[in-house]
Amino acid sequence: SQQGEEDPQALSIQEGENATMNCSYKTSINNLQWYRQNSGRGLVHLILIRSNEREKHSGRLRVTLDTSKKSSSLLITASRAADTASYFCATARKGSGYSTLTFGKGTMLLVSP
Amino acid sequence: EAGVVQSPRYKIIEKKQPVAFWCNPISGHNTLYWYRQNLGQGPELLIRYENEEAVDDSQLPKDRFSAERLKGVDSTLKIQPAELGDSAVYLCASSLWGEQLGALNTEAFFGQGTRLTVV
């Protein structure tokens, strides 16, 4: 079973534009993470936000978390063609010892030059 | 530092045949995961190990799938017999986690995966 649901399923933008992806989840979590997957490098961890945090930044990435709405968003600013990939949110749920990661179905991002 | 190593990268087998995948996690990581990823979907957990103990295998189809993690390091995942519906990418990941270790992050490091095609 999959915990998270990303929205939209696919997103197409031009280089330089911002990309926003959303994730909703169902159960209480310890933390939420975002991963990127492209054919060249497999799944790569991008950023982790804990349940007691509301916003986090890493380079061109900005993640927000709203535990009352059980949702998170990932913003990629000034996108580049190299950002083309699938993006997944993953949650570490309470009650699973925190260390089981459950992934959503992903958002496929296409950044055109 | 070497990442998570999986082999083989690709495997094509006929249905009803057995197949095995191997994973070498990052040195020192106590937690090892096997995920299955179907085309266009996110990874789905099959089994999670903490050291040599399987602590979450509720999604593992135990009639045909088996896994082991000897000495709490390398791991193998086996399917016997394989079915057409088993065609997918099998991903191994590892992390260092444990409240007693002071490691509360569950960031996982993934291998490149094994793409299985059952014909």
Tell me the sheet residues that pair with B53.
B50
Measured in angstroms, the CA of B31 and the nearest CA of chain A are apart by 8
Give the pLDDT confidence score for residue A95 in this predicted structure.
55
Average pLDDT over residues B1-12: 92
For residue B86, what pLDDT is reported? 97
B40 sits in the region (left: phi over 0; alpha: psi -120 to 50; else beta) called left
Tell me the H-state helices in A1-113: none
B107 touches A: beta carbon within 8 Å? yes
The answer to whether the peptide bond before residue B25 is cis (omega within 30 degrees of 0) is no
Nearest to B95 by CA among B36, B48, B38, B63: B48
> Tens of pLDDT along A8-45?
999 999 999 999 999 999 888 888 999 999 976 689 99
Compute the distance between CA of residue A87 and CA of residue B94 in angstroms, rounded to an integer. 19
Q: Is the pLDDT of residue B103 over 60?
A: no
Q: What is the distance, to the nearest Å, from the Cα of residue B19 to the centroid of all Cα atoms in its chain?
A: 13
Q: Say if strands A85-93 and A101-103 run parallel, antiparallel, or are unpaired.
A: antiparallel
Amino acid B102: pLDDT: 54
Give the model's pLDDT for residue B2: 80
Cβ–Cβ below 8 Å for B42 and A103: yes
Which of B6, B99, B107 best tests the A interface by mutation, with the highest count of A CBs <10 A? B107
pLDDT at position A5 is 81
pLDDT at A112 over 60: yes
Instruction: Please count the residue pairs, one from chain A and one from chain B, whose beta carbons lie less than 8 angstroms apart.
Output: 65
Contact A42 B55 (CB under 8 A): no
B105 pLDDT more than 90: no
| Pair A102, B45: CB distance under 8 Å | yes
Contact B41 A105 (CB under 8 A): yes
Could you tell me which residues come within 8 angstroms of residue B70 by beta carbon, excluding any fewer than 6 positions away? B52
Extract the tokens encoding A104: 């959503």
- Per CB-CB distance under 8 Å, the chain B contacts of A38 are none
Answer with the residue of higher pLDDT: B113 or A5.
B113
Per-residue pLDDT tens digits for B24-47 = 999 989 899 999 999 989 999 999
Q: Residues B108, A99: contact at Cβ < 8 Å?
A: no
B 1-30: CB under 8 A from A: none
CA-only gyration radius of chain B, Å: 14
| C-alpha to C-alpha distance for B46 and B62, rounded to whole angstroms | 10
Q: What is the pLDDT of residues A71-111, one digit of tens each?
A: 999 999 999 999 999 999 999 876 555 567 889 999 999 99
Q: What is the pLDDT of residues B59-96, one digit of tens each?
A: 899 999 999 998 889 999 999 999 999 999 999 999 98
- CB within 8 Å: B106 and A31: yes
Give A51-78 pLDDT, tens digit per residue. Answer: 899 999 999 999 999 999 999 999 999 9
Which residue of chain B comes nearest to A99, CA vs CA? B106
**pLDDT value of residue A31:** 87
Q: How far apart are CA B92 and CA B29, in angstroms?
A: 12
**pLDDT of the residue at B22:** 97
Looking at residue A39, its pLDDT comes to 77
Report pLDDT for B1: 62
